Amino acid sequence: MQSSSGYHLSFKIGVAVLVYTCELGWLLDPDDRSVLVFKPHQQPVFCHQNDKLTVIDGVDLELTVEQVFSWLKMKEESEFKGQI
């Protein structure tokens, strides 16, 4: 379950896509390794694992959620303890 701050961030990204006429917005959630995809005039789409991510029209690129997270260097939860 997303925290209230997670929902707040999702809302901000969704608003940015709609208000600032962005073509596409991705919100990556490292906790469950998922991506919320925002496009104007559409409901957000939840993607995870081998789901293909939406990219900007005209860009010849196929990405899965797993590929994106495999490129990111993420700390283990135990590395965060004591840093807050």
* Residue ranges of domains in the chain, CATH in brackets: 4-80 (3.90.1570.10)
Q: Among positive and negative, which fits the CA dihedral 64, 65, 66, 72?
A: positive
**DSSP class of residue 51?**
P
Which tens digits make up the pLDDT trace of 25-83?
898 988 899 999 988 888 889 999 999 999 998 999 999 999 999 998 766 655 555 55
pTM reported for the whole predicted model: 0.69
Which tens digits make up the pLDDT trace of 1-22?
445 556 566 667 767 666 667 7
Up-side HSE of residue 73: CA atoms within 13 Å toward CB?
Answer: 0
Contact 25, 37 (CB under 8 A): yes
CA 31 to chain centre: 11
**CA separation for the pair 31, 80 (Å, rounded):** 13
